[in-house]
Every structure is written in C-alpha cells, then in structure tokens.
Chain A
Amino acid sequence: MEIYKIFKRYIKGNLLKLLLVILSLVFLNYLRSLIPLFVGKVFAILNENSESTLPNVINNIFVGKNLVTQLLLVAVCIVGTALIRDITNLSADIGIAEVSEGVGYNLQTDFYNHVQELPYSYLNHAQTGDLIQRSISDITRVKRFIGQILPACFNALLQIVIYSYQMLLINSRLGIYLLIPIPLIFLGAVIYFRKNAYIFTNIEESEGALTTDVQENLTGIRVVKAFANEKYEINKFNKAMDKFISSWHALMNKMSSYYSIMDGISYLLMLTAFVLSVYFVKSGALKFDEATSMFLYVESIIWPTRILGRQIGEMNRSKIAGSRILEIVDEPTEFANDGKLKPKIKGNIKFEDVFFTFKDGSTPTIRNINLDINHGETIALIGKTGSGKSTLVSMLNRMLDCTSGKILLDGIDIKEINKKYLRKNVGIVLQEPFLFSKTIAENIGIVLNKIDANDLETSSRIKSVARVAAVSNDIERFEEGYNTIVGERGVTLSGGQKQRIAIARTLVEYKPILIFDDSLSAVDSETDIKIRSALKTKEEDRTTIIITHRISTAMEADRIIVMEDGEITEVGTHDDLIKKPGLYQEIWNIQNHFVSSDSNESEGK
C-alpha cells in the first residue's frame, strides 16, 4: 500500500511510458511463448502433421511447401521471432529503467526539497543521521522495488499466464493437470519466505552488530591501545563474528532446503508432464510435437513461479522502507502557511504581546514581549542560556512563528510577508554555522546568482566582505586561498574561522536587518571588535541585533536588552544598566574584574 502511494505520487510524467512498458512486456512474453511452439513445429513438419497451435497467420506460411523449405522456414521464424522478441525486450528494459529512474528522480528530489522545507522546529528535533539514513537506504530500497522487483514480478506473472494459455491451447485437459501444482508452488514459496522473514532480520541485525563493533573499535583504537586491550577486542570481535556466522548458517540451512525442495518439485513436475504425455499420446489425444512443446512449457513455467513467490514473500521489507519515506514527505512543510506580501523593508521592528510555546512544551519559552526597535538601531541581547534569546530572534525571520501576539515589520505583520522574501531581508548568522563542501569563495558567495572566479565584480565583493568579517588574512594563508575547499570533505577550519566565513556569507548581500545569534563567541574579543567596527564603517542603514555575552560588545550598542526566563527584564544603555542592580550589573562586575586589575598590575588573583 505504501509503495503504491509512493508510486502514484511520483509516477507523474511517466504514465505513458509505463503503459508502453506494460504493453511491450505483454508482447514480449507472447513472443517468448512462441519458441516452444516452433520447436514443436519442427517435429510436426517431420511428422507431416500440418496442425499447430501457432497463430494461423504463421502456420499458413508452411502450407504446401516441401519438407526442407518448411524446416528452413521454421529456422527463419525462430530467428525472426527471437529478433523481434529481443528488440521488444530491449525497449521494455529501457522503458523500465526510464520509468523507475523517473520515479526515483521525482522521489529523491521531492524528498530532498521536502526536508529543506520542513519547519525549523522539526529539523531542530529530528535526528540528522536518521533523516540521512532514510534518504539513502530507504529510497534505494524503494527504488529497487520499483525498478527491479516490481517489473520482475509482473514479468513472471505474465509469463505464467501466457504460458498457461499456450498449454491449455495445446491440450486443455493435460494443461489443467499440469497447471494445478503451479499455484501451490507459488503459495509454498510465499509462505516459506513470510515465515522465515525473521531470519533475514536476524542476519541483518547481527551483521549490523558486527559492523558497529568494527566501527567502534576503529574509532576508539586509541582507547584500545591505551588500555592495551587489543586481545580483549579481538575476542569481542570473534564473538560478534560467531553470532553473525551462526545466523548466516541458519539462513543457509533454510535456503539450501528451499532450493533443493524447489528443484525437486520442478523435476517431479517435468517427470509428471512426461508420464502424462505418454498416456495422452498413447490414447491418441496428444501428438509427439505437442508433447515436446508442452514439456518445454512446463520446464520454463516453474522458474517464474519461484521468483514470484519469493518476491511476494519478501515484500514486507520494501513496505517498511516505503512507510518510513512517507512519514517524512507527508509531514507538512513550513511553506504550507506562507504570507504573500513583499514590501520594501526599512527595518523597524515591533513586538506586541508576543508569546511563544514549543509544540511539546507546556510553559511558554517567550512571554509577554513588547518592544520597539527603530531602523538603524543596534541592539545587544544578553541573558542566561535558555532564557529565550535565540527563540526571540528566530521569530524575526519566521523560523519560528509566535504562538500569540504580533510582530510587525515597518508596521506590517510578518505573518503576511512571504517567508523567503523575509529571510532575504533578515540576515541571521547562526551560532553553529554549517559550511558546504565547496570552496571558500563559493561558500561566501553562495547566495549570489553566479560565482565565477574570473568575474571581477563578484570576487572583489567576496573579498571585501571577507575583510569585513576579519577572515581574509586567514583565507589568504591557505595554500589555495579562496579556492580552498571546506566543509565535510575539505580543510578543517577552527570554530572561529567558520563563524567568520558565515558572517561574510551573510554580508555579501545587503540586508536591512542583521542578527548575530551569539555568532561572535568563538572569535576572540579583539577580532570581535574588528568585525564590529568594520561593520560600522560600512554603515548602511541597517538594524542590527547582536546576541552576546561580552560586555565589551554590549556596551557599544544603542540599547541593551536583558532577557531572563523568556521575559525582558532590563532595557537601556550600558551606562543606565550598570547603575541598576540586576543581571547586567552582575555580568559587568565579572567582566570588569580584570579590566580594573589590568590597570592595577600588582593584583595577582
């Protein structure tokens, strides 16, 4: 069912191809079924028997020709049929590949896009590893099902049906006798694989355990060596290996029985076909040539039956993968409730009775926020961890939506504004930025439309923002400079370097509102000052909100907002706040401790 849903959803654009594939598979199997008839025809010719269950069009060619010509004709027919059959087969194969890859393409790109568009809060709680697992192994499994298992099953089914039809055509009574065991073999295979599904699960689990063991050992090899536990680890590994081998053993025990019994049944059925043929021929109800065709059909109908039974028995595994994919793509995206407006944004922000509660939380994370920020103002946001600072700024670009109250941007409710448009105007530098596996230049210029190293304008733009973010010296020190590849597959950068590249990346396009979510914490205070003063000289009319714990940063802001427990407890300038007892004063005292003792060097501790 899950697979059907996926199939239906992602088949778009491939329906016609699918229809053609189905038709060509039908034709293909019909042509396939003609070969045993031609073989039978050889014996019919030799017996001077002109009857055949071959279609009349073909059979009529042979009428009135001499023996040798007839034989030659059969040979030509066999080659001709095979040629058409194989061309049909080729086009069916290509068709299957196109349909399944088409579905796979739609599925993969949709999944990817869907994950990108999932709400921020969902992504915050989701396990990245699990999502990646689903996107890779589950999709591969579903694709394999659609591209290989399904066509194979369909093909097998067609072969069984068409071969049965030909058998019944030759001799309906004999045909029925010989076809009775087919559904039984099929059912046997299905039941067998259903019943033994646990063995496959077992072997997957024990194999997984073995891989985990190797992985943990190699990742922790330093611990192993430091404790001189190599021998212990080898014993542990051997135990896991034994377990894997024994589940493998169990599987092979079952599989070898399955194969041998199935083989035995195939042979018994052939023998039965032969014995029955003897009696039918003796009683005159069957001719020699018909017996040969019948025998060839029986020989080749068992194989597809076994395949079909096995695949259907194992179908459950793909079903699970399918449901795991649906779980993700059925999750509504954040753009399900998007605004339409795209107003020019100046940067006046107004919070009106804003509350925010996380889906699974009972008490609000943000409470009763009322705040006016004028465009061009620089605001420092300071508070304890977990006091709601990040949540508050996340509402400004609608990563999170306030549960009640209103946030106005230049007087417009931000829920009315198009999300992507909003985010292009509200730049936010995250605390733990992610860099892509690209060059530094590409990372900084990622929002630009074209990144061409030879394009002077963009490259000078990239260099200039790198200077503002105080990371240009670091970059130039790399051997490859701006062409150094970073991210998971590239050079490892320090936390501070990453943050500064992320800042440069945000600065590359003008944003009327700029938010630093504690993104200067991994750089030292001197660099912090450098960046802020560079930003100031670059002063475009910009509203800036800086989440920080550094007094030196906060004191330069136009206003400081102190948050505690989701509420604003203090608002004012540095000079105001240090006079009032409260959190800000407390922080000031701590950070001032050495500032004063710096000037007073006699103090040691």
Chain B
Amino acid sequence: MYEEFDDYDLSSKLNLKLWKKIIKSLTPYKKIVIWGLIAVAVLTFIETYFVKLISEYGFGKFINGESMDGFSSFIVLMVAMIIFEVIFVKIYVFSAAKIEMYLYRQLTGNCFAHLQELSYSFFDKYSVGWLISRTTNDTSRVSEIISWGLVDAISCVFKLVFILVIMIVTNARLSLIMIIVVPTILTIGIFFRRIVMKYSWKVRKAHSQVSSALNEGISGAKTSKSLVLEEKNLSAFSKIVDRYKRFSIKAAFINSSYYQILAVLAAAGIAAMAYFGGIEVVSGRLDYAILFMFVSYTMMFFDPVLTVSRVSNEMKMAQVAAERVYNIIAIEPELIDSEEVIQKYGDYTNPKKENWEKIKGEIEFKNVSFKYSTGPTILKNFNLNVKPGMSVALVGETGAGKSTIVNLLSRFYEPTDGQILIDGVDYKKRSIGWLHANLGYVMQTPHLFSGTIKENIRFGNLEATDEQVVAAAKAANAHEFIGLLEKGYDTEVGESGNRLSQGQKQLISFARAIIADPSILILDEATSSIDTQTEYVIQKAIGNLLKGRTSFIIAHRLSTITNSDLILVIQNGQITEMGKHEELMQLNGYYYRLYTNQFVEDRLKEINII
C-alpha cells in the first residue's frame, strides 16, 4: 500500500558517521554478534576443508592410491565435520536472525516512541503513509541488510581468503590464476550491480505507477461507467502496464547479462585451471588429487564473489533507509516544556502527577495571534474570556480559524504572539501533560483503535473500572446499542472501528471523553448527516458530555449552538458576532442566515428528505 513512499536514491556517498552509529547500536547484542562470527568462521573452515580433505586425501590417497590405511579414521573425521556443520549452521542462521530481529525491534521501537513525542504540527507536515513506510519498511530493510547481508558478506570474504591461502600454500603458481580472475570478477560484479540496482529501482517505480493507476481505476469505476470511459481508461492503463513490462524485461536482460558475464569468466577460470594444472601434473610438479581440489575450489569461487558484489550495493540501500529513519529520530519536538516546567511537572514518560494543580477551567485568550510557519496570519489579536463551566460554540466557514482556536487551546500549537491563560496562569508555565490530562478532545471523525469497545472507552482513562466504563457508556447514550451487540462491551470494533457505524463510533468517542472526566472539553461536531434516530441520541449525549465542563464546540447542530452559553461567529480569524442565540438573531447577519438555513435542513432531515 505504501510502496509509493519507497524510493531509493542510490547516488549518495558513503556516510561513515551513520555506519558508526549503526554498528554502535549493535553493542547490546555483542554476544550474539560474536557467536555469529564464530559460526561463520567455523562454517567456512569446514566447507573449504571438507573439499581439501576429500580431494587431497580421499581422492588422492584412497581412490588413486593403493593403501587403505587410515580410511576409517578419515571417515570418522568427515562425519565429525558434518556434525559440526549441522550445529554451526543452526547457530549461524539463528544468530543472524536474532541480530535482524533485535535491530528491527530497536529501530522500529525507537522510531515509534519518538513519533509519540513529536508535536502535533509535525503530523500536519508528513503524511501517515510516508511515516508508516519509514517506521516499518525502512527499519526492516536496514535490519535485514545489516544482519544477513553483513553476515553473508563476511562469510564470503572469509571463504575467499581461506581458499586463496590454501591454494597459495599448496601451489603458488597455479593460484596466480585465481589472483587474476577473482579481482576481475569482483570489479565487474560491483560495477554491473550498480546498473542492475538502477534498473530494479526503475521497475519498482513503474510498478508503483501501475498500482496507483489500478487504485484510481477501481475507485472511479462507477464514474467511468457513467461517462463511458472504459476504453479510454483501458488504453491509458495498458500503456502504463506496458511501460512496466518493458522495464521489467530490460531489467531481466541486464540482470541476466551481468550473471552470464560473470559465469563465463568463472568458466574461464576453471578452463585455465584445467589447462595449466594439467600441464603441472604432466610435468610432475602437481598431484592429480591436488588438481581436483584446485578445480573444485575454482568452482566454489563464483558464488561468494556474486554475494559480495550484491551486498556491497545493498548496503547503499540500507544506508538510504537508515538515514531516513535516523533523521526522523533526530527531529526535535517543536513544542516542549521548559526545563523548570519539566522539573516540577515531569515529562510524558515520567509525569509528576503529585505536583499537578487541580484545574477549574477558566480560559483567557489575551491578544493571541497565530500563523503557521509558512502561510498568512490566521488569528490576529484574539481576545476571549471564558468562565469555568461555560460552553462556547464557534461557528463560521471552513478556514475561518475555528480549528486554529481550539488547536491553540489544546496546545497542539502555541500562539505566535500573546498568551493563553488557564485559571489565570499562562499555560506554558505548566506541562503539556498536565493540560492534556485535564482536556478532552472529541474529533469530528471519531478515531477508534482495533480492540474491544471496552478498551476503546477505557482509552480515556486507563485506570477506569468496568463499572466506570459502563457508566460512561450510559452517559454517552452508547450503553443501549452496546447491549444489543452479541458480545456487548467485549465486541471487537475492527480496524479503525470500521465494524461500527459512524454514529456508533461517535457515541463511543463521547464515552471515551466522558470517562476521562476533563475540566475542559473540545468538541468538533461531525457535519455528515446521520439518521434522525441516531441524531436524537447523539444530541442527548452531547448534553451529558458538556455538563459541568468548560467547553469549546466547533458546532454544526442547532441544538448544540442554541444551548451554548456563548456563540462566536468567526470570520477571517476575527470574532465578527458574539453573544447568545437571541442576541445574534437580532443582528440579522451571518448567524441569522446560518441559523435559518440550518433550521430548514434539520426539518427536512426530520422527515427524511435529506
């Protein structure tokens, strides 16, 4: 789903600092890393030595020679080696997998935890899809390449060195062949691999275009039908798939040529070994069996060289992915409490609740101005005083500044100028945690989490008892529908609560806010139409929700608006009309028009016309 966010620009240079950081993050797993390295060393030794023993002794002495002395001890030795092989393969796979797992857990966990700490504004800048891609795909790529890639590469280097050493010690002249062939293959390999990677990247990009075209075609299928766009869509889609197809074939061509060129070179190595080795045997300088060993070793060379060139390029991909993950972790939250505030009130991992003042709920906006880091001023010299327990309805068009006001009050953002006082104290002088513990936020589109209804309600107050959950549900008018569900409060709500209707989700989110029992409540009413029956239930629930709290409501319901203590009409970041319902109706301005339109709509809704 999120592949569109998975581009890898591979042109970046080697970032040593980053690699140091990554290697350093492995320190807690030193033991496993060491075990892995031991296993790799033992395995390479066994794999190369097995060949040496079989050819030199096995073929040389027992097959070619006359005597069978020591045959049985030879077999015992071989079997022992095989047993070691079995044990150490297990250790090897296990430790590589463990390093991968630990690294993944650490990276993903750090990234996730850090995201929890970042300010609200951060999430306005980055899309959820992009962030998910970083926390899951990138972290898993880094950990996979670091663990398996590195272990594979190390094992291959070991193997290459090991074989070369045995060869040089046995016959230096013949090993010259390897000393020429191996670096050639390696250079070509690494160079070619880069092109291969470039193409596979192109293929991935083309694939994500296919995916998004499919996505759009399916989502818009009904519209396409009504406009008779089927043929046009198909031909456009065919072009995109065809492009992907051509790229894939080209990538397959390049990938295969790369492999074939190396395979020919490897065969040339074997041929050279056969010829020169044969001559050495003829001239009596080399034993048959040793020649067999050399040929076998030459054949064994091919795979490790391929692996080394593959891993060296994969490391680049890992670097790009790691850079992105570490960059997120390095981002500082924009809003943080000052040192003194943290000293007194604690931070979010370690709140000092004993120092938190009780809140009354008096709110004052004092000359508050606000602009987002880029963009025009949204709020200018905004002043407002709200007594504890008062309900304030904010009405006005989208973009007029209603959300900004409640976001500032929630301290998701801070004023660029001016102050917000709660119970007479600038809210920056207390901790964000303190404010949020006393503030409830009910969003326009309720967001629930997978899990049961009970868990979702309890999200508002993690220490709440089952009785409190039921009481909150009752106050939110949700108890009735929950009772009708087969599993009641233990009903799974599905991903993002999708198994419940919009109205039901809303009631659950009310219950969640009620159980938190905040002194200040922010309610962003839903605009979407809901059937009359649910509408009535929700209206009643809102009454309970607001009871005894200072509340700010971005309101769309007439009942909510008319029942509130103060109505603010916000236009272009300014209060243009302010007062109680009757007062505003007298003005015969924006509010009057809004009210009359809404009134007609509500009546039509009542008889089910809209």
Contact = CB atoms under 8 A, between A and B. Distances in A.
Interface of A: 35, 38-39, 42-43, 45-46, 67-68, 71-72, 74-76, 78-79, 81-83, 85-87, 89-90, 93-94, 96-98, 101-102, 104-105, 108-109, 112-113, 115-118, 120, 123-124, 128, 131-132, 135-136, 210-234, 237-238, 241, 245, 248-249, 252-253, 255-257, 259-261, 263-264, 267-268, 270-271, 274-275, 277-278, 281, 288, 291-292, 295-296, 382-386, 397, 399, 420, 423-424, 427-428, 430, 433-434, 436-437, 446-447, 487-489, 494, 505-506, 521, 549, 583, 586-587, 590-591, 593-594, 597-598, 601, 604-605
12 contacts: A71-B282, A86-B264, A97-B252, A136-B214, A219-B447, A223-B441, A227-B440, A233-B116, A261-B86, A277-B63, A295-B54, A549-B609
B489 interface: no
Given A83-B264, A241-B105, A292-B292, 12 more contacts: A35-B270, A39-B295, A79-B268, A89-B256, A97-B252, A116-B224, A214-B112, A252-B93, A270-B50, A506-B227, A587-B609, A590-B604
Contacts of B222: 120, 123-124, 399, 430, 434
**What 6 A-B pairs come out closest when comparing CB atoms?**
A82-B267, A97-B252, A226-B441, A256-B93, A93-B256, A260-B89
A109 B460 contact: no
Contacts of B282: 46, 67-68, 71
Contacts of A428: 226
Chain B interface size band reads: 35 or more
Contacts of B87: 260
Contacts of B585: 604-605
A135 B267 contact: no
Given A97-B253, A231-B348, A420 B230 contact: yes
A278 B252 CA distance: 44
Contacts of B607: 384, 583, 586-587, 590
A267 B223 contact: no
Contact of A447 (B50, B229, B410, B608): B229
Contacts of B253: 90, 93-94, 97
A521 B272 contact: no
B437 A228 contact: yes
A434 B219 contact: yes
Contact of A230 (B71, B117, B292): B117
Most buried by A among B94, B224, B271, B291: B271
Contacts of A42: 274, 277-278, 291, 295
B75 interface: yes
A225 B436 contact: yes
Contacts of A218: 115, 123, 128, 131-132, 135
Contacts of B216: 436-437, 487-488
Max count, chain B CB within 10 A of own CB: residue among A45, A227, A264: A227
Contacts of B378: none
Contacts of B496: 216, 219-220
B297 interface: no
B263 A264 contact: no
Contact of B101 (A248, A295, A604): A248
Given A101-B245, A116-B230, A274-B58, A227 B109 contact: no
B226 A430 contact: yes
A87 B260 contact: yes
A302 to B, nearest CB: 13
B38 to A, nearest CB: 15
A135 B132 contact: no
A316 B243 CA distance: 30
Interface stretch (B77-85, B157-165, B533-541): B77-85
Contacts of A136: 211, 214-215
A487 B215 CA distance: 12
Given A46-B281, A116-B221, A270-B54, A256 B94 contact: yes
B249 A98 contact: yes
A128 B62 CA distance: 70
Interface string B209-221: 0111011111111
A93 B234 contact: no
A386 B532 CA distance: 14
Most buried by A among B214, B398, B609: B609
B115 A221 contact: yes
Nearest to A525: B597
Given A75-B272, A434-B219, A281 B113 contact: no
Given A113-B234, A116-B233, A424-B228, A222 B252 contact: no
